[in-house]
Amino acid sequence: MLRLALGVTIIVPMPLGTVRMESKSTDTLEPLVVRRSRLRAFVTAVVAAVLAVAAVWFALNAETGLERLFAVSMAIFFGFAAAFAVLFGFERTPVIEVDEEGIVDRGSPVRVGRLRWEEVKRVEGKVVGRQPILVILVYRPQRFIVDLPPDQREAAEEAIQRHGTPLVIPWSGFDRRIEDVVERAEEFRRVSQERRK
């Protein structure tokens, strides 16, 4: 199989009995960047805007002052929610970056930043209840929570007890599938381990 420019792939038949050896190196692996999904933000904005318009309609047609007050407060609430969702949709800061050096974490409650592959044991995708989560298992997880404020530290300690790491990212509203992130991270981690040997 030959990969050409613009994503064109040509399949070349191999002679019978030929063994195909695939060696993964970081030269062939492309970095993976995960951002929040724009689609989800804009759908939320549209729903909130529709609810705000409906609340305005109820406020204009309310019979009592209490109903009008309630409808106006709902219109204000849903209006702010729509505006916030639109702003959230334009925010394109990566939540997770996976490359040959390691993982950049901006999505977990701990938000450790750059994790080198030497610090990472394994990257897993799990489902807790019905919520998929990305779990980044690290060596010595306690060192990541030392400088956290007390409320965040308590949540991080609970994550260590439940998952073995404080680096737990609930997977919803991102532009990549969790399976793709786990696969790419594990490929980079394996290549990094082979280099260190």
Structure confidence by residue, pLDDT tens digits, 26-44: 457 788 888 888 888 889 9
Tell me what pLDDT residue 27 has.
Answer: 57
Report for 2-16, 104-118, 150-164, 175-189: range of highest mean pLDDT: 175-189
Mean pLDDT confidence for 94-114: 85
Q: What tens digit of pLDDT does each residue of 71-97 get?
A: 999 999 999 999 998 888 887 788 889
Any long-range contacts for 172-176 (C-beta under 8 Å, 24+ apart)?
Answer: 172/131, 172/132, 173/36, 173/37, 173/40, 173/41, 174/34, 174/35, 174/36, 174/37, 174/95, 175/34, 175/35, 175/36, 175/37, 175/38, 176/32, 176/34
Query: Is domain 95-196 given the CATH code 2.30.29 in the classification?
Result: yes
Q: What is the pLDDT of residue 80?
A: 95
Whole-number percent of the chain with pLDDT over 70: 86
Q: State residue 84's pLDDT score.
A: 92
pLDDT value of residue 155: 82
> Domain limits of the chain?
38-90, 95-196
- Residue-wise pLDDT for 1-22, tens only, equals 445 444 444 454 444 433 343 4
pLDDT more than 90, % of the chain: 23
- The rounded mean pLDDT for the chain is 82
**With 70 as the cut, is the pLDDT of residue 150 above it?**
yes
**134 has a pLDDT exceeding 70:** yes
DSSP codes of every residue in 139-179 = SSGGGGSTTS-HHHHHHHHHHHHHHSSS-EEE--SBSS-HH
Predicted pLDDT of residue 161: 86
Q: What's the mean pLDDT in 40-66?
A: 92
Give residue 11's pLDDT: 52
- State the pLDDT at residue 79: 94
pLDDT band at residue 23 using 50, 70 and 90 as cut-offs: very low
